[in-house]
Structure 1
Amino acid sequence: MNPENRRNLRERVIKAAEAALAARNEVSPIDVLVGIGWLDPGAVNRWRQGQADCLEGAVQTRPDRIAEAMNLFHSWAADKGLVPRQTAYVAQQPRRQTLRFSANGDPAIETLYRTHWVSGELSERKRERLAEKANRAPELVVIEPLNDEWKCHRCGGSGNFLIMENPGPACLRCAGLDDLEFLPAGDALLTRRAKAKAGRYAVVVRFSHSRRRYERQGLLIEPQALAQAQRDVRRAQ
């Protein structure tokens, strides 16, 4: 890379990194790649949902340019006195499989991408809270489909809900979620208490054509947790 191109890339990397750091007191390689326009946020979401084998293939540039951007990012983070921290990345799937960044699973590349850089100005307690939040497993997301004729890619069945997997949609039975009960949105207190008591739950969403986005419809939750929450709410009334 010639000096001028490297200088321009450095400016873009620093701008993206500083924006993320200002917003959250930490910054990750994904933040930088999205910020400089090499990685589409939609591709990141699909990868987080387990619909892509690795993230590397979604980055819209050559591997040598990615490596150069990451070197510039790490140099900036070290010069700024940021604190490195390893972060867990698991899929929004019932199996909670570890997400892979590189096509070949190279340990050095995986470590690089899992390293978040945290503001050194934060207290140890605040850094611990950030780490806890970053390492928290993401909520499972189940879709209430608009098309009733969809088919499960595993068994060929269907149903009122589906969960997206890499090969395609899967029914709740094949995904191991068919024991959960639907709790419609609308009762915030009941929802909070049921979530607090549940070992497993999934957020149910449905696509809105008018708003062009997925909107929450409720939860799929363990029946015993829902029953306990309902009893607690009745006692409190």
Structure 2
Amino acid sequence: MKKVTVGSYRKDKYYPKVVKAITHLLKESDEISPVKIMLQMGNLLPKDYEAWIRGQVPCLERVLHGNLSKASRILRIIGFHAHDLNMIPHQHAYRQRGSKQRQLRFSLSGDSGVEMAYARHFRWNQSHEKKQAMIERILAEQSQEL
């Protein structure tokens, strides 16, 4: 497994895809989450997400496309990139839709660190103008790379 660190995360092959997904989500909202990013990147299909949120799947990792190492790397990149954008982290509780309202699990292991990483959302806490400038800058950088 390739270790993603503060010094290496921008060189990771998933970094451009994560940045693109975050930028797209920030165009629509001031909050991002790993689940929405995974949906945006295509690592999680909407039908699989719906099955998980209804409690039909025991944990989110069962329906993610790719292996758990890839998901772990993406989670770390999300955290590092959100930190670079000065976004504020906060924990979100995912509950099953319907009558039971039980807490949903993300991981097969149930490890608290992994569960917290998936449930951590990030909020934009700066002006709308700064957000627009950041989005435009990132889109320009991505178009130059192509």
Q: TM-score, normalised by structure 2?
A: 0.76
Residue identity in the other structure for 2:98 = Q
What's the counterpart of residue 111 of structure 2? Answer: 106
Per-residue CA deviations over 1:164-192 (Å, capped at 9, x if unaligned) read xxxxxxxxxxxxxxxxxxxxxxxxxxxxx
* TM alignment of 1:143-162, pairs within 5 A: none
What's the counterpart of residue 41 of structure 2? Answer: 36
Cα distance in 2, alignment partners of residues 105 and 93 from structure 1: 22
Cα distance in 1, alignment partners of residues 107 and 44 from structure 2: 14
* TM alignment of 1:11-30, pairs within 5 A: 11-30=16-35
Higher relative contact order (Cα pairs below 8 Å, separated by 6+ residues): 2
Cα distance in 1, alignment partners of residues 65 and 97 from structure 2: 24
Cα distance in 1, alignment partners of residues 118 and 72 from structure 2: 11
What's the counterpart of residue 69 of structure 1? Answer: 74
Cα distance in 2, alignment partners of residues 67 and 117 from structure 1: 17
Would you say how many aligned residue pairs link Structure 1 and Structure 2? 119
Q: Which runs of 5+ in 1 are unaligned?
A: 123-237
Task: Give structure 1 regions of 4+ aligned residues with deviation exceeding 4 angstroms.
Answer: none
RMSD of equivalent CA atoms: 1.5
What's the counterpart of residue 60 of structure 1? Answer: 65
Q: 1:7: Cα distance to partner? A: 4.0
Cα distance in 2, alignment partners of residues 16 and 82 from structure 1: 15
Q: Which has the higher helix share?
A: 2
Q: Which runs of 5+ in 2 are unaligned?
A: 3-7, 128-146
